[in-house]
Amino acid sequence: MRIAFISDIHGNAIALEAVLENINKKQVDKVLVLGDIAYRGPEPKRSIELIQKLYTTVIKGNADEWIVRGVQEGEVPNKVLELMNKERNWTVSQLAQTDIDYLANLPTELAFEEEGISFHAFHATPNSLFDVVLPNTADDKIEETMMTDKTADIYLYGHIHKPYIRYINGKTIINLGSVGLPFDGQAKASYAIVDINDGSVSTSIERVAYDFEKTIAKYKEVNYPNTDMMESIIRKGSL
Number of domains in the chain: 1
pLDDT per residue as tens digits for the range 196-224: 999 899 999 999 999 999 999 999 999 99
Q: What is the pLDDT of residues 4-29, one digit of tens each?
A: 999 999 999 999 999 999 999 999 99
Give the tens place of pLDDT for each residue, 166-200: 999 999 999 999 999 999 999 999 999 999 999 89
pLDDT at 239 over 90: no
In sequence order, which residues have a C-beta less than 8 Å from that of residue 19 and are 6 or more positions away? 6, 179, 189, 191, 208, 210
> What pLDDT score does 33 carry?
98
Q: Residue 54's domain is classified under what CATH number? A: 3.60.21.10
The pLDDT mean for the chain works out to: 97
Q: Per-residue pLDDT averaged across 52-75, rounded?
A: 98
The whole domain housing 160 covers 2-236
Residues 136-163 pLDDT 10s: 999 999 999 999 999 999 999 999 999 9
Phi/psi of residue 206, nearest 5 degrees: -105, 135
Own/partner long-range contacts of 171-177 (Cβ < 8 Å, ≥24 apart)? 171/147, 172/201, 172/203, 173/142, 173/146, 173/147, 174/5, 174/203, 174/205, 175/135, 176/5, 176/6, 176/7, 176/8, 176/34, 176/205, 177/8, 177/205
- Reported as type and span, the H/E element at residue 14 is helix 13-25
- Rounded to the nearest 10 degrees, how much is the dihedral formed by the CA atoms of 226, 227, 233, 236? -160
Pick from 4, 14, 6: which is nearest to 234 by CA? 14
Alpha helices in 132-211 (DSSP H): 139-146
Q: Is residue 62's pLDDT more than 90?
A: yes
This prediction's pTM:
0.97
What is the model's pLDDT at position 66?
98
